[in-house]
């Protein structure tokens, strides 16, 4: 049959209307999920969420008997979920309508139709009473129980999202005179990079504190002195390597560290595992471990506590000879592990800075040789150490009879190193050999070691200069520098004013860099600062240029700020491969706007901003140190640290070590800390106008000590609050 165009058009319209009706009036998901049930003698249509329950990744609800939400409470069939799915011991008596569930020594008794429940005989009030529900289509009745309440009592973790309830295992414990709690954490412990499964008690979390079993951790795994006096309920732990003893009393919030009482934060508990009915002495992991001298790290994702020897050895001479200009006595030697950077730092203190500056360091395959010449004498009675757990095999000291002291440091494989000598102390950092990609490769001239290499960062001009002692222009012409980076726009080589070889590297944008020592070359990694450095700090010497700041007796604040924060601190950050990178807002007597200073932190990707100032008052009796933070810039940053926390650390360290008067931590809206993008503090070190402060601030020793305290505090911050990079 042939249709007219008008008829065809009508057919299209009718078809479209029918299709629209089908789509528009199609039942919604909740309508499609409508369920006919009979509850409390009444038949009804259930249109709300039907819950499925997963135990871990396994579905434990039956497809045809999903959980229901009744009076706002998620209810699930007790037999499908708890009896069969979670393997909880259950019983039901139809005559009394009582349901009994037992797990980990916890007995929960409920009655159908009653909101009263009993947990080990203690009465609890349920949000919704257990109820019988008949699923009419399936012609079967199920007893539904409040799932969240039961998980909390029986020791499971509960999480509901949409139509899915997820139940996971937790550890039910009893402590503090009968308190029963569950720990969602059942973690492991790593010591010196070796992971251990704890048999007595896993790592657990109670009231936001991570706990570890004391005896298994400190006596069996770590192996330090351990003694628990059951009668006095006092635990004594002693780490001989750090010469630290801690004493903890059961259920007490304080403890003794080398005889001095300190706040423990959370008590030591005797904790009973309900699954094994076994009691284990447990201590707060972080504070006890760190006080004993171990590094501590908590990996939430892996539920892993990592402890590591922080100090391998710390040796000191019993008797120190009188220093003389012609002799150099090595009186202290230490080896410290840095878990964040997986490196070992050696420190050797000598009596003669000039001789210590003549040190030479070389590497031959796996052995690093440190030679301290010119009539040096090793005054310590310990000559070797071989208990390193990674990177190194052994450390040995040899006196060759001709006035040389030689340290041999043997690696498990070839290692990289960097070192510096400052104020008579040689610091040597040893790390695993650099195997990453490089941006530059510079072949080594004959007789050149990493000691002969220095660097200077001209970050404001997107340049840095690598300087090699001596004239090596011809060598580098014959052995061209290899460039392996698109961001490097130019590399030029010339002699500087001192006749040394200066390699100037220009980049297309501000970049970080590190110089690594290889057997035949130096390689340079280049990248955005945050990809190169673990930590980045901006140091801001207040005022500058035409802005003198405070003045007194001809002394200008801008000069003191600059001297302490730049002149006296730059050597602390002169390493060829630093973990902590410092950018200064000014490195000359230049005026920088407040907005420019604050914005600079964002430009370089800083983690911290520290501004140094000197105070002034009309009254000369005003003296002391105060540190400011801005409440507008006090949100949590890396590892949860805040500006106020940083201000407190600086105030405490400066006052205690410099002997200045404490004027406290204060809040203010100073531009450089308020408008910053990172945690920021402003230090008012002392009063130029102060009757006692002026002589301190203008004293070179005080200035050097101030620079050292600021440096040490920065190191402390990043050790306690790692950036995670």
- Residue 630: phi and psi, rounded to 5, are -110, 125
Checking if the pLDDT of 602 tops 70, the result is yes
Element (H, E) at 472: none
What are the E-state strand segments in 310-391?
A: 311-316, 328-338, 343-350, 360-364, 367-372, 376-378, 384-385
Residue 537's nearest CA partner among 626, 463, 439, 637 is 637
249 falls in which pLDDT band (50, 70, 90)?
A: very high
Chain segment 81-115, per-residue pLDDT in tens? 999 999 999 999 999 999 999 987 889 999 999 99
Indicate the pTM of the whole model.
Answer: 0.49
707 falls in which pLDDT band (50, 70, 90)?
A: very high
Checking if the pLDDT of 24 tops 80, the result is no
Residue 262's nearest CA partner among 281, 274, 278, 249 is 249
3-state secondary structure of 73: strand
188-191, strands of its sheet edge to edge: 194-196, 188-191, 304-309, 294-299
Chain segment 590-599, per-residue pLDDT in tens? 999 999 999 9
Checking if the pLDDT of 519 tops 90, the result is no
Average pLDDT over residues 205-218: 95
Chain segment 400-455, per-residue pLDDT in tens? 878 889 999 999 887 777 677 778 999 888 877 666 678 999 999 988 988 899 99
Checking if the pLDDT of 386 tops 80, the result is yes
User: What are the helix (H) ranges across 326-485?
Assistant: 353-356, 473-478
| 68, 112, 144, 150, 537 from 33: Cα distances, Å | 12, 26, 19, 26, 58
In whole angstroms, give the CA distance from residue 437 to residue 525.
7
pLDDT at position 252: 96
3 falls in which pLDDT band (50, 70, 90)?
A: very low
pLDDT at position 387: 82
Chain segment 615-640, per-residue pLDDT in tens? 999 999 999 999 999 999 999 899 89
Write out the two tokens for 656: 């205690």
pLDDT at position 10: 53
310 falls in which pLDDT band (50, 70, 90)?
A: confident
Chain segment 536-587, per-residue pLDDT in tens? 999 999 999 999 999 999 999 999 999 999 999 999 998 888 899 999 999 9
In whole angstroms, give the CA distance from residue 449 to residue 233.
57
Question: Are the CB atoms for 107 and 120 separated by under 8 Å?
Answer: yes
Checking if the pLDDT of 372 tops 70, the result is yes
């Amino acid at each position: 049959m042939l249709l007219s165009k008008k008829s065809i058009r009508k057919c299209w319209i009718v078809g479209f209307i029918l299709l629209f009706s089908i789509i528009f009036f199609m039942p919604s998901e909740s309508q499609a999920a409508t369920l006919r049930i009979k509850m409390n003698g009444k038949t009804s249509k259930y249109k709300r969420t039907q819950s499925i329950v997963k135990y871990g990744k396994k579905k434990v609800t039956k497809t045809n008997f999903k959980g229901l939400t009744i009076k706002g409470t998620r209810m699930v069939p007790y037999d499908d979920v708890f009896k069969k799915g979670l393997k909880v011991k259950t019983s039901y008596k139809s005559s009394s309508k009582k349901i009994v569930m037992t797990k980990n020594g916890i007995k929960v008794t409920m009655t159908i139709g009653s909101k009263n429940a009993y947990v080990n005989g203690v009465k609890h009030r349920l949000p919704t009473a257990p109820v019988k529900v008949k699923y009419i289509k399936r012609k079967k009745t199920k007893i539904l129980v409040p799932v969240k309440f039961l998980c909390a009592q029986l020791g499971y973790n509960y999480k509901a999202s949409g139509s899915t309830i997820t139940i996971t295992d937790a550890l039910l414990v009893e402590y503090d005179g009968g308190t029963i709690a569950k720990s969602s954490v059942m973690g492991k412990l790593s010591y010196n990079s070796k992971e251990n499964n704890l048999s007595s008690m896993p790592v657990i979390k109670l009231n936001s504190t991570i706990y570890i079993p004391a005896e298994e951790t400190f006596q069996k795994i770590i192996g330090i002195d351990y003694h628990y006096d059951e009668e006095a309920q006092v635990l004594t732990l002693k780490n001989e390597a750090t010469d630290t003893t801690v004493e903890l009393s059961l259920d007490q919030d304080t403890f003794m560290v080398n005889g001095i009482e300190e706040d423990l934060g959370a008590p030591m508990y005797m904790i009973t595992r309900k699954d094994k009915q076994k009691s284990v002495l447990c201590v707060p992991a972080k504070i006890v471990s760190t006080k004993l001298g171990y590094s501590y790290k908590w990996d939430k994702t892996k539920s892993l506590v990592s402890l590591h020897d922080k100090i391998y050895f710390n040796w000191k001479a019993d008797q120190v000879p009188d220093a003389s200009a012609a002799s150099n006595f090595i009186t202290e030697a230490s080896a410290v592990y840095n878990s964040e950077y997986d490196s070992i730092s050696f420190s050797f203190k000598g009596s003669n800075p000039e001789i210590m500056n003549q040190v030479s360091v070389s590497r031959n395959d796996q052995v690093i040789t440190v030679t301290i010449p010119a009539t040096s004498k090793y005054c310590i009675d310990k000559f070797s150490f071989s208990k390193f757990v990674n990177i190194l095999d052994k450390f040995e000291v040899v006196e060759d009879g001709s006035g040389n002291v030689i340290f041999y440091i043997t690696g498990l494989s070839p290692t990289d190193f960097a070192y510096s000598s400052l104020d008579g102390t040689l610091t040597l950092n040893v790390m695993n050999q650099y195997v990453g990609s490089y941006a530059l490769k510079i072949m080594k001239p004959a007789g050149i070691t990493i000691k002969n290499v220095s660097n200077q960062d001209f970050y404001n001009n997107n340049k840095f200069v690598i300087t090699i002692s001596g004239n090596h222009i011809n060598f580098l012409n014959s052995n061209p520098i290899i460039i392996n980076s698109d961001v490097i726009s130019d590399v030029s080589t010339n002699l500087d004013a001192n006749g040394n070889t200066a390699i100037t590297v220009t980049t297309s944008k501000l970049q970080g860099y590190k110089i690594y020592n290889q057997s035949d070359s130096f390689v340079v990694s280049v990248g955005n600062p945050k990809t190169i450095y673990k930590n980045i700090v901006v140091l801001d010497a207040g005022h500058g240029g035409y802005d003198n700041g405070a003045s007194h007796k001809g002394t200008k604040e801008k000069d003191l700020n600059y001297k302490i924060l730049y002149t006296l601190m730059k050597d602390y950050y002169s390493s060829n491969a630093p973990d902590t990178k410092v950018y200064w807002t000014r490195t000359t007597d230049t005026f920088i706007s407040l907005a420019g200073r604050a914005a600079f932190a964002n430009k370089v990707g800083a983690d911290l901003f520290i501004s140094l100032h000197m105070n002034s008052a009309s009254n000369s009796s005003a003296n002391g140190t105060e540190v400011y933070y801005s409440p507008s810039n006090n949100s949590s940053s890396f590892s949860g640290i805040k500006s106020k926390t940083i201000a407190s650390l600086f105030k405490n360290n400066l006052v205690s070590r410099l002997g200045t008067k404490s004027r406290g931590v204060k809040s203010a809206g100073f531009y450089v800390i308020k408008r910053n993008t990172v945690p920021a503090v402003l230090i008012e070190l002392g009063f130029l106008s102060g009757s006692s402060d002026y002589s301190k601030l203008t004293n070179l020793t005080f200035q050097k000590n101030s620079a050292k305290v600021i440096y040490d505090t920065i190191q402390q911050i990043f050790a306690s609050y790692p950036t995670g990079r």
